[in-house]
Amino acid sequence: MENSAENTQQLKMSKSSTAIISGSSGENIQLRSSGGNLQLINQRNAIVIGLFVGVAVSCLFLYHSVNPFEFLPSYSAYDFVPLFTKSEAASLEGILKRAEMKNKTVIITTLSQAWAEPNSIFDVFLQSFRMGNGTRELLNHLVVVSLDPKAHNHCISSHPHCYALNTSGLDFSGSEKYFMTSEYLEMMWIRIRLLTNILQLGYNFVFTDADIVWLQNPFQHFFPDADFQIACDRYLGNPYDLQNSPNGGFNYVKSNNRTIEFYRYWYASRRSHPGLHDQDVLNKIKFHPYIKEIGIKIMFLDTKYIAGFCEVSRDFNAVCTMHANCCFGLQAKIRDLKLALQDWKTFMQLPPNEKSLQRSWSVPNNCSLSAFHPPP
Ligand SMILES: *[C@@H]1O[C@H](CO)[C@@H](O)[C@H](O)[C@H]1NC(C)=O
Ligand SMILES: *[C@@H]1O[C@H](CO)[C@@H](O)[C@H](O)[C@H]1NC(C)=O
Ligand SMILES: *[C@@H]1O[C@H](CO)[C@@H](O)[C@H](O)[C@H]1NC(C)=O
Ligand SMILES: *[C@@H]1O[C@H](CO)[C@@H](O)[C@H](O)[C@H]1NC(C)=O
Ligand SMILES: *[C@@H]1O[C@H](CO)[C@@H](O)[C@H](O)[C@H]1NC(C)=O
């Protein structure tokens, strides 16, 4: 495992658009913009274009404003280091390309061993696409990023678009020293880094946790002009209201300079909020003036369409996804997601005139019990 000091590179930015990244191992990366040309000197496993766009954008912001990171100990280049080597990025890009919809949009989920056992959450997740109304074809656009070899093997046995993220080079011990976070927390943050890299590759995405059943196509309910739209545990009625409590398990994000900067800022903000996971940090930073400065348009998705066990959709005709949120314990989640699928199947088999009648879900069931007994 690499020494953490080697991974921690300091980024210094001058007011011209030249950034020098120096690692303690002595090598320098210099990015220079001259007449739109990009020169790279001594590059070290970087996705050059993505990095450049990121650095250029943040130089722009830093130039015009107070440093949004001045509350941070230092804005280290650790936050810029892509998850991938160049060849890994190329391999991911190949998979994204095969899975993309017409307009460079993909559906992404991450998968680890516990969720990939036979008869697992992942199986229920895939099954929901097959049972949902107009969701089966979305499987062609779903890319599963597995975080360990067992998850990857299970993925390739049941799905065409699987990418094995090489997590062995990730320096958990180093980050622990820095942030006092656990390996688990680090894994949670990996998805933010992963999604940042996917945005940098120019792909729009729907990120979905695998403990979500897809019952209808959600694309019809996305806001056409939002940059970042996210599901809610509880929805207050106004899609612009930052008081809505977002759930990081489901979001739809367009690839542009605003979203790339936003994700990088989100990831960097964990330093000022050690021990919190990405969703909690999002809840802290959503009011930060820098978000306004980035100019990103954030919107919140109505639980009528993008629902969960915290707040189930009242309307079976409208519901698109159901998330096993507000639920602790894998077995409780699996049981209740299966129940939700059963409810959906029953609904779909109703004659048309009965479909408009008010119905209720049999979930949360086990989840409502387990919610009161969070694991220690
Ligand atoms: C994964 O990353 C580590 C460390 O960066 C590297 O040594 C190893 O060769 C990589 N494995 C694969 C399969 O690419
Ligand atoms: C991509 O295409 C789908 C289906 O036509 C559409 O609903 C969605 O808004 C498009 N996304 C972008 C980013 O243009
Ligand atoms: C970011 O902005 C630059 C300059 O406006 C533009 O050329 C580039 O395509 C943008 N990048 C993305 C990912 O939208
Ligand atoms: C299935 O989806 C189509 C297209 O969105 C919609 O018109 C139809 O009402 C849906 N069926 C049910 C039972 O919700
Ligand atoms: C889950 O719910 C079912 C049906 O209500 C019940 O029989 C079972 O004991 C519950 N299991 C747990 C672990 O709570």
Q: In what order do the strands lie in the sheet with 321-323?
A: 212-214, 321-323, 306-308
Burial letters 283-302, b for 16+ CB under 10 A, else e: bebbeeebbeebebebbbbb
The answer to whether 108 and 210 have CB atoms below 8 angstroms apart is no
Q: Which residues line ligand 4 (CB under 6 A)?
A: 133-134, 216, 317, 348, 355
Which residue, by CA, sits nearest to atom 4 of ligand 2?
Answer: 219
Q: Which of 317, 326, 312, 175 is nearest to 249 (CA)?
A: 326
Percentage with pLDDT > 90 across the chain: 60
The predicted-structure confidence for 345-374, as pLDDT tens digits, reads as follows: 999 999 999 999 999 999 999 998 765 554
Task: Answer whether 33 contacts ligand 3 (Cβ < 6 A).
Answer: no
- The three-state (H, E, C) secondary structure of the chain, written as one string: CCCHHHHCCEEEECCCCEEEEECCCCCEEEEEEECCEEEEECCCCCCHHHHHHHHHHHHHHHHHCCCCCCCCCCCEHHHHCCCCCHHHHHHHHHHHHHHCCCCCEEEEEEECHHHHCCCCHHHHHHHHHHHCECCHHHHHHEEEEECCHHHHHHHHHHCCCEEECCCCCCCHHHHHHHHCCCHHHHHHHHHHHHHHHHHHCCCEEEEECCCEEECECHHHHCCCCCCEEEEEEECCCCCCCCCCEEEEEEEEECCCHHHHHHHHHHHHHHHCCCCCCHHHHHHHHCCCHHHHHHCCCEEECCCCCEEECCECCCCCCCCCEEECCCCCCHHHHHHHHHHHHHHHHHHHCCCHHHHCCCCCCCCCCHHHHHCCCCCC
Q: Whose CA is nearest to atom 8 of ligand 2?
A: 219
Cβ neighbours, 10 Å, residue 321: 28
Measured distance CA(183)–CA(341) in Å, rounded: 33
How sure is the predictor about 85, in pLDDT bands with cuts at 50, 70 and 90?
A: confident
Q: Which atom of ligand 4 is nearest to the CA of 355?
A: 13
80 CA from centroid of ligand 1 (Å): 19
Ligand 1 lined by 87 (C-beta under 6 Å): no
CA of 364 to the centre of ligand 5 (A): 11
CA of 109 to the centre of ligand 4 (A): 25
Mean pLDDT, residues 304-323 taken together: 96
pTM for the whole thing?
0.78
Q: What's the angle, vertex CA 189, arms to CA 185 and CA 195, rounded to 5?
A: 160
| pLDDT digit string, tens, across residues 197-248 | 999 999 999 999 999 999 999 999 999 999 999 999 999 999 999 999 999 9
- Hey, whose CA ends up nearest to atom 9 of ligand 5? 366
174-188, 210-224, 233-247, 295-309, range with the lowest pLDDT: 174-188
111, 147 Cβ separation under 8 angstroms: yes
CA distance 159 to 129: 12
Question: Is any ligand 1 atom within 6 A of the Cβ of residue 169?
Answer: yes
> In this structure, which residue's CA is closest to atom 10 in ligand 2?
103
Q: For ligand 5, atom 14, which residue shows the shortest CA distance? A: 366
